[in-house]
Amino acid sequence: MSTELRRDLRQLIDRICGDYPDAYWREVDAERRYPEEFVDALTGTGCLGALVPETYGGLGLGIGDASVILEGINANGGNAGPVHAQLYTMGSLLRHGSEEQKERYLPSIASGELRLQAFGVTEPSAGTDTTSIRTTATRTDDGYVVNGQKVFISRVQHSDLMLLLARTTPQESAAKKSDGISLFLIDLREAEGVDLRPIRTMVNHETNEVFFDNVHIPADSLIGEEGRGFRYVLDGMNAERILIAAECIGDGRWFVRRAAQYGSERVVFDRPIGQNQGVQFPIAKAHVHVEAADLMRWRACDLFDEGEACGAEANMAKLLAADASWEAANAALQTHGGYGFAAEYDIERKFRETRLYQVAPVSTNLILSYIGQHVLKMPRSF
């Protein structure tokens, strides 16, 4: 697990993050600003092209290596959310795109010249039930016309390209409800009729409502075969879950470190508060849970990199890591008392950021339902 490459990657990320200390993240959070300077610095290292094969100009690394990058950002007090999708959104293009599409886009994605970090799945009326999406892509002589609405679509204002999931066959006419959904790669620089309404959220995460009003896209925007888009998206989910798990591990370690340090230094009743086991034990327990979740994260990474099935492990890693980071966040907040709520201590910022991973990109309930249905073979609930 600690190959030389991974050690080098950790050192590289620590060094970059050293230039972007807590005060930087606090400021961009307060201003709800995209951390452009940090993203540029990271892009310059080539790290965001980690998963693009070398033949297309990327680093050709494995998911375990890529996970070290994202973990490191969060473990240093930063937030990998603004960059993580540049690493993995291209996976659908890589696995299902034509050779022509891959050659056209992947080298520029690997170099960071083109950003593909917007992924339009969620819709207001469908929610978690992706097969009920209503955005349509209707065939024309030379392409498709897209109409519909998406919600919570992140980083659109900082992306050149967007992967979009849309219905090409109405659900009623499809053999299965997951059929008839197609995946498109849209060039946002050229598309006319795409409107955004930014959503202010509790975290500094650029996310938007996106409206498609008769948006004409060329025929070669289609990724893979028409009607199979839902499967293509499912294919990419293991990578996403593993990488988000690694971010949560990074968060968890940051919270535990900060809590242990503060608990050892803050003196009340003439002794460090961390000497009281009522303060010490929740931090110790959170540490145990973060480290246990990390084992599942590495199990999922190794299976993924060996090309083995890893749906169960990727989902379990995401659930365990998100729960562990949330537990660590609570322990850190409690340890800091009132100061945990003060922005200058950064606990409240990271507390908000790590809370997101109970809900997005997949909620805890949906992971449990995957485990119940697909791993334990229990009755299907939906």
The two three-digit tokens of residue 260, written as one number? 């242990």
Closest CA to 232 of 319, 121, 377, 367: 121
Nearer to ligand FAD, 209 or 226 (CB): 209
Shortest distance, position 155 Cβ to ligand FAD, whole Å? 7
Shortest distance, position 154 Cβ to ligand FAD, whole Å? 3
| Chain residue whose CB lies nearest ligand FAD | 127
The residues that touch ligand FAD, with contacts defined as CB under 6 A, are 119-122, 127-128, 152-154, 201, 205, 207, 356, 359-361, 363, 365-366, 369, 381-382
Residues in the chain, total: 382
Shortest distance, position 166 Cβ to ligand FAD, whole Å? 12
Shortest distance, position 381 Cβ to ligand FAD, whole Å? 6
Shortest distance, position 98 Cβ to ligand FAD, whole Å? 24
Distance CA 189, CA 191 (A): 6
Residue 148 phi/psi, 5° resolution?
150, -165
Nearer to ligand FAD, 210 or 279 (CB): 210
Nearer to ligand FAD, 294 or 348 (CB): 348
* Dihedral (CA of 108, 114, 115, 118) sign: negative
Shortest distance, position 202 Cβ to ligand FAD, whole Å? 8
Nearer to ligand FAD, 205 or 336 (CB): 205
Nearer to ligand FAD, 7 or 32 (CB): 32
Distance CA 267, CA 23 (A): 25
Closest CA to 167 of 195, 140, 139, 142: 139
Residue 376 phi/psi, 5° resolution?
-90, -5
3-state secondary structure of 145: strand
Nearer to ligand FAD, 135 or 221 (CB): 135
Max Cα-Cα span within the chain: 79
The two three-digit tokens of residue 188, written as one number? 């946002």
